[in-house]
A and B are shown apart, each in its own frame.
Chain A
């Protein structure tokens, strides 16, 4: 009988531990599918970071390195400089990348490191139970902004893609979401483009994924997806911030 659908070989058989309604699983599958379609699974080293995806080295079936909090771009720099013909990617959340790891991501991008960063922005710290992240929206209630994030005492959200796109070493930066089939397909295209930018040695590439965290947002999965559309996209507009006209 003909096989009409099978799980991508880019993922192992280990079941995901992610909460219902979380989009990490979709992002993992898209990255894994792209690695297989580009035939680079055998030639890729990924870097896991700290947060809900600390152990995604158990899910991706390529070589993987687990990095300390925020330092994945530095670890990836060390890997890529030693292995210039391999694909190297980091997978980082917003606490990891936009808070403790700002120095590492800014300088990796500024150096034009030929790595790809997958940045998952769900506006909250997931694993440590819903604290305010640098990406938390104004007014958003978290365990460390129980009255809602106020700019006066807690500052403003950081738009990472816009910020990094000002750097000369950053070649391709796009923000996507995963709210429906169309957007998921667009996200997959962005992943493939980011990998091609790296493959062609053009410089630093990053895809930012707006993601849901129903558990820490205190919402049902469907409700969380609606909340993302209504609240996150106005603060974090989708689109290509760097490399729009880049043909790769």
Chain B
């Protein structure tokens, strides 16, 4: 029987990872994601797994690197300043093509910033916060139910593409309690990892995990292989949700927490006679550029309004996808503040009246 329970977002991430077969967690405390760690500390031991409280986020991500090299499903979680510390390891994981899942429950920055929700890490997550030409597969759930389903899926994607999958949430999603329905049995597929460095045990050749290629031609070849892989991910793994797109005049682009606020505003706008739809990216990389471009081509669509908890980050990808076909407006709040429905509605009214 499926089980429906009321749970906090952060705890659901941890539960989902365990259900996906992850038996190794390495982390360092930071608000507002610490419940992931608490849950793992308590539950991993019941599943015969590993829980290590590392001495720093730098060490935690390198423990992830080690566990992934051993061929095991592995998770670490943190929040913005901690994720900045993990960037070195994230770049190495990309270079060594290791599967791993990293959770960022984003808080407001820059610097130590604040502990309240924000989306200021969009650039860092999607454009590569570490060095070199690499990509992470970035997933942005919008509810506790999605946190569960997409965290399980993240482990499959990581294994399939041998790459890092990041779950990008925020303080709201991590701290919020919502009902979640767990499946009786997870639809997850662990695959063979013949490349793993887990002791030869009769294997003819020793395995090596590395990200260094001193010869420029070797390194360029490696980079081309990575880019081919990323192209495949772009082709196959884009996820998005559209609402009210048919006959919409104004289209929201918003992800995660902001998309939930926008959904309410769509109803309020309809009462004022303004037809509003939404494209909600679920994968932030690969970005649903084709869908946004398709919507931009619709004759009914007059403008886009991008809503984020930052100074305007995803809006750059929206503008690239719209490619000048329609105006793209932006409204954002920062510092840990959320936009009110009224603030967003005011923006819509202004756009509708042609005042912006």
Contact = CB atoms under 8 A, between A and B. Distances in A.
A67 B55 contact: no
B5 interface: no
B204 to A, nearest CB: 11
Interface string B42-65: 000000001010111011101111
Contacts of A103: 55-56, 58-59
Interface in A78-137: 78-83, 86, 103-104, 106-107, 111
Nearest to B68: A78
B67 A63 contact: no
A57 interface: yes
Contacts of A86: 198-199
Contacts of B74: 78, 82
Contacts of B149: none
Give the interface size class of chain A: 35 or more
Given A57-B208, A81-B67, A103-B55, A74 B62 contact: yes
A78 B208 contact: no
Contacts of A48: 210
A78 B70 contact: yes
B63 A74 contact: yes
A179 interface: no
Given A79-B197, A107-B59, A64 B208 contact: yes
Report whether over half of chain B's contact residues are helix, strand or loop; otherwise say mixed.
mixed
B69 interface: yes
Given A43-B201, A63-B198, A82 B62 contact: no
B72 A82 contact: yes
A61 interface: yes
B291 interface: no
Contacts of A74: 54, 58-60, 62-63, 65-66
B289 to A, nearest CB: 33
Contacts, number: 135
B63 A66 contact: no
A54 interface: yes
Given A42-B200, A63-B208, A68 B50 contact: no
B62 A75 contact: yes
B299 interface: no
Contacts of A45: 69-70, 197-199
A54 B212 CA distance: 9
Given A68-B88, A71-B58, A86-B198, A63 B206 contact: yes
Nearest to B51: A81
A77 interface: yes
A106 B209 CA distance: 25
Given A74-B66, A82-B67, 7 more contacts: A55-B210, A63-B198, A66-B210, A68-B88, A74-B62, A75-B66, A77-B63
23 contacts: A43-B201, A45-B198, A55-B212, A63-B198, A65-B69, A65-B208, A66-B208, A66-B210, A66-B212, A68-B62, A74-B59, A74-B63, A78-B66, A78-B68, A78-B69, A78-B74, A82-B24, A82-B70, A82-B74, A83-B70, A83-B199, A86-B199, A104-B59
4 pairs of A and B residues whose beta carbons are closest in the complex: A78-B66, A74-B62, A66-B210, A78-B63
Interface of B: 24, 26, 50, 52, 54-56, 58-60, 62-72, 74, 88-89, 92, 96, 197-202, 206-212, 214
Interface of A: 41-45, 47-48, 54-55, 57-58, 60-68, 71, 74-83, 86, 103-104, 106-107, 111
